[in-house]
């Protein structure tokens, strides 16, 4: 998708009516709002006091994003590096 095509798709986009056009390419970035939303709801339930609420939310969000990124790296190494080196029977 060229820059001109991307720009025309964004300009023609009707928010909340049709799907976001860039989500086809950058779908993996959606882990960020997932991590933030889940962390906000979960910490609001689990914490006894809300004094350090946002620090816990940021901490859990970073942990979720890093955890998912670690799983992605691990699966990449397993599928691209390890499995092709195994002897085929």
Partner 1 sequence: MIGVLILVVTGVFVGGLDAVDRDEDRLWFIGQAVAGPLVIGVSFANDAIVKSGRAGELLDAPSRTPGPRVETKPAKVSTLKGLAHPNEFGSLLVFLGGLMNLVVILDALVRVPPEPQFGPGFGRRADDLGKKGAA
Question: Which residues bind to partner 1, rule: CB under 8 A?
Answer: 14-20, 23-24, 27, 30, 33-34, 36-42, 44-45
Kindly state the smallest distance separating residue 35's Cβ from partner 1, in Å: 10
Residues in Cβ contact with 33 at an 8 Å cutoff, skipping those fewer than 6 apart: none
DSSP-based three-state secondary structure for 69: helix
- Residue with smaller CB distance to partner 1, 16 or 88: 16
The torsion angle over the Cα atoms of residues 33, 36, 41 and 45, rounded to 10 degrees, is 160
- Residue with smaller CB distance to partner 1, 45 or 83: 45
Kindly state the smallest distance separating residue 70's Cβ from partner 1, in Å: 20
- Residue with smaller CB distance to partner 1, 40 or 65: 40
Kindly state the smallest distance separating residue 39's Cβ from partner 1, in Å: 7
Phi, then psi, of 26 in degrees rounded to 5: -105, 35
Phi, then psi, of 2 in degrees rounded to 5: -75, 170
């Amino acid at each position: 998708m060229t820059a001109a095509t991307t720009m025309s798709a964004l300009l023609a986009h009707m928010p909340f009516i049709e799907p976001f056009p860039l989500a086809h390419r950058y779908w993996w970035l959606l882990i960020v709002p997932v991590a933030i939303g889940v962390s906000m709801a979960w910490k609001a339930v689990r914490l006894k006091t809300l004094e350090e609420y946002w620090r816990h939310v940021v901490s859990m969000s970073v942990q979720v994003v890093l955890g998912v990124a670690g799983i992605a790296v691990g699966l990449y190494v397993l599928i691209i590096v390890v499995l092709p080196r195994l002897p085929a029977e």
